[in-house]
Amino acid sequence: MKKVVLAYSGGLDTSVCIPLLREHYGYDEVIAVIVDVGQPEADINEAVERGEKLSDLFKLIDAQDEFVRDYIFPLIKANGSYEGYVLGTAIARPLIAKKVVEVAKEENAEAVAHGCTGKGNDQLRFDAVFRATDLDVVAPVRELSLTREEEKKYASEHGIAFEAEKRWSIDENIWSRSIEGSELEDPAFFPPEEIFQWTVSQDAAPEAAEIVKIGFKHGIPVSVNGVRADGVSLIKRLNEVGGKHGVGRTDIIEDRVLGFKARENYEHPAATTLLEAHRDLERLVLTRNELRFKEFVDQTWSELVYQGLIMDPLYEALNAFVDKTQERVTGTVFMKLKKGVARVIGRESPNALYSMDVSFDAKQETRIVEGFSVYHGFQSRMFRKSLE
Ligand code: ARG
């Protein structure tokens, strides 16, 4: 019995993979796995229905808590952002791949498969985790270079029915919604309101601002407005509140791993709010040296995640550094949400490296500073003189 486990989403690409894995690759049993990282319920239900019909064995794995605990929380601690993208799709792929590998082990399958095409980043992210095992890796849509039209034809020949074709390609999880494809491929095309589902437009957002108080403990958000909440509910809550104020839309040109530029639209109210708040709290409690160094660590961390290379030992090493710095990132940040903007308006922490004694209004021993000032810029001064 040749068995293969497929990372299933319910969409066209992964649906045609099921008969392809039987007919073209000769697998006797196709196990389809959908990993719930916070996709819309309706999509999951549709995927379950279709997947159960098509596959020999179907599994739905709820990984929302694990996603937040082991992937989103480290992302917040590392201020994860790649070219302004909050890495929602990127950070979910390794977890989905990991779950698929786990099922393959349980079921004694010899191969794992995904439905990615040969153009995007996701193929690389799945492959990186899949290939770290001794399982065979199959990517039917990429290997057979299928076009969308060929896939549709193959699907209808195999009784795989879809309602009217979706205009946009959407990837959604608890951290972000990515929207691409169709007219959006033209970077000059204005994103129509219909692509957004979590956020209202800036124009439609209420005039009245809302202030949200976010509590952090060791770099992790633990409460909203004083009410403690687990990660999943906290993020969902902030997606709602931020979305109502139009917070967290991005429209960017992104450099893909393969080197092409892509036009991407995202919405991610909770991510924007939490990342702004977290960065701000770090500025209050970390030293200047830590902040400067961490900026580089955060950027490297984000690039690894974007590339799907979290199996690299560097990822673990960076997390160890980040975790050490986060021991003191505890406190409260006040965010004002209004008309598409989430702005920090106050912060406090028992670990603040801030003293009112040296603040603007405080009386100082200015003679000490005079001495410092004599040598400040000393090298530049010598250089300037040497030009005379
Ligand atoms: N460009 C993003 C990434 O590489 C998102 C891709 C999302 N896919 C989609 N079908 N909208 O992570």
pLDDT in tens, the chain (388 residues): 999 999 999 999 999 999 999 999 999 999 999 999 999 999 999 999 999 999 999 999 999 999 999 999 999 999 999 999 999 999 999 999 999 999 999 999 999 999 999 989 999 999 999 999 999 999 999 999 999 899 999 999 998 988 777 899 999 999 999 999 999 999 999 999 999 999 999 999 999 999 999 999 999 999 999 999 999 999 999 999 999 999 999 999 999 999 999 999 999 999 999 999 999 999 999 999 999 999 999 999 999 999 999 999 999 999 999 999 999 999 999 999 999 999 999 999 999 999 888 766 666 677 778 888 889 999 999 999 999 9
Among candidates 293, 241, 291, which has minimal Cα distance to 269? Answer: 241
- Enter the tokens of residue 143: 């290997």
323 catalytic per annotation: no
Q: For the chain, give every domain's residue range.
A: 3-165, 176-348, 357-386
Say what the pLDDT of residue 361 is: 67
pLDDT recorded at residue 357: 80
For residues 328 and 286, the answer to whether their CB atoms sit within 8 Å is: yes
Q: What is the pLDDT of residue 370?
A: 85
Q: What is the pLDDT of residue 362?
A: 67
Residues in the chain: 388
Ligand 1 binding pocket mutation candidate from 116, 126, 168, 180 (most atoms within 8 A of CB): 180
Residue found by looking up tokens 């045609």 in the block: 16
Q: Is 93 a catalytic residue?
A: yes
Question: Based on the number of CB atoms within 10 Å of its own CB, is 351 exposed (0-12), middle (13-18) or buried (19 or more)?
Answer: middle
The Å distance, Cα 266 to ligand 1 centre, comes to 9
Q: Is there a common fold for 3-165 and 176-348?
A: no
Residue 165's pLDDT is: 74
Ligand 1 nearest-atom number relative to CA 121: 4
312 in active site? no
Instruction: Supply the pLDDT for residue 102.
Output: 98
Look at strands 261-267 and 249-255 and give their pairing.
Answer: antiparallel
The superfamily (CATH) of domain 176-348 is Argininosuccinate synthetase, chain A, domain 2 (3.90.1260.10)
Q: Ligand 1: residues within 6 Å at CB? A: 89-90, 121, 169-171, 178-180, 254, 262, 264
Q: What is the CATH number of domain 3-165?
A: 3.40.50.620
Please classify residue 256 by burial: count the beta carbons closer than 10 Å to its beta carbon, then call 0-12 exposed, 13-18 middle and 19+ buried.
middle
CA pseudo-torsion sign 196, 202, 207, 208: positive
Look at residue 360 in the predicted model and tell me its pLDDT: 67
Is 56 in the active site? no
- pTM (predicted TM-score): 0.96
CA distance 95 to 303: 17
Ligand 1 pocket, mutate which of 43, 91, 121, 303 (most atoms under 8 A from CB): 121
From the CB of residue 364, how many other CB atoms can be counted at a distance below 10 Å? 10
Ligand 1 atom closest to Cα of residue 85: 2
